[in-house]
Copies of this chain bind each other. A is one copy, B any other.
Amino acid sequence: MKFSKKMNYLKASEIRELLKLAEKPEIISFAGGLPAPELFPTEELIKVSEVVLKEEGRQALQYGPTDGYTPLREKIADRMNTFGFSPKVEDILITSGSQQGLDFSARVFLDEGDIVVCESPSYLGAINAFKASMPEFVEIPTDNDGMDMEELENVLKTKENVKMIYVIPDFQNPSGKTWSIERRKKLIELANKYDLPIIEDNPYGELRFEGEIPPSVKSFDTEGRVVFLGTFSKTFSPGMRIGWVIADNKILQKYNFIKQGSDLQSSTIVQRQMNKFLEMYDLDEHIEKIKDVYRKRRDIMIKAIKEHFPSNVTYTYPEGGLFTWVVLPENVNARDVMPKALENNVAFVPGGSFFPNGGNENTFRLNYSNMTEDKIEEGIKRLGKVLKEMM
């Protein structure tokens, strides 16, 4: 009995394995990327569920169209104003979380040996999804304004097999950084010049704690080459599994074919519940609540890092999203810190896994959305103690 070649490239996500360890209630975990569950609108959803099942139960429990429930797609189209563009409803495909959009992107664009260009570091879940298509990864260094555009052009100029550029311009996972508008424009310019698709992954953009939401890369797209991935996982509930892909028809029809073979459609009932929630309640108001809580948590984490971490450690000040990113001196391996941290009942994710080609083991990612203020303070204190002992 033989497995396909691609199975050699896949292994269990380190984060998911870590999350299992970090599940013990005594552990203060900064490891996952979990929203704060106390903010989930459970009471509202009870009402929403009842209305959906009473008024449209037969439709809600039946098969539905592959591309998704049209009223929900209409509302998503409207919401994209936030990111500076106005897609047509037929340019939207509902997916099971934006993770599915990542998986589909690889399947639509990549053959074995093709190159996907990404930020260094990049989102681990994307790296793993892409790996199933057996590509090579070329990582482009990033600074506080996003990807290094000179380096990107060098790669596009010299490498033949580049098939797709993957970016997370807003509160990047794992780095917490946000791209400048100039870099966004320059990215489009280069993608146009080298005739490449861009996958713009934006799960956190609406969770901006200060300043204005910058226009998305997609908003500068005049040639229909940006595939925009969105989700309600961070603004509403990840357990619903509702994300979306927005792309021009010539691209989106390929995603639709893949969707059809993959799982026919996303759950009709959760799509209708999400839609009904958007009709009955104000999601933006809900997002304001989330932002208020996360902003405080970010502030407390950053303050605690300042206070408790060794002074030769650097970290991102994220203007939104869920994560900050810590860089240790080069001789310190975050994977070695992890067991010590767990002994002290605190967890994080070592940063090495976010670099598809390895290295950079002196980094780690911290999540601040899922722990209470007290726990954040206490956890960072413990972690600071461990770091000081090891450095």
Contacts and interface: CB of A to CB of B under 8 A. Distances in A.
Contacts of A64: 239
A195 B3 CA distance: 12
B128 A261 contact: yes
A350 interface: no
Stoichiometry, copies per complex: 2
B269 A239 contact: yes
Interface stretch (A103-111, A150-158, A339-347, A355-363): A103-111
A299 interface: no
A60 B66 CA distance: 25
Interface stretch (A31-39, A81-89, A168-176, A374-382): A31-39
Contact of A2 (B32, B63, B109, B253): B109
A32 B63 contact: yes
A237 interface: yes
A302 to B, nearest CB: 25
Interface stretch (A4-12, A136-144, A181-189, A305-313): A4-12
Interface string A63-75: 1101000000000
Interface of A: 1-7, 10-13, 16, 32, 34-35, 37-38, 40, 42-43, 45-46, 49-50, 53-54, 57-64, 66, 95-97, 99-100, 102-103, 107-111, 114, 125, 128-129, 131-133, 163, 195-197, 225, 237-241, 251, 253-254, 256-258, 260-270
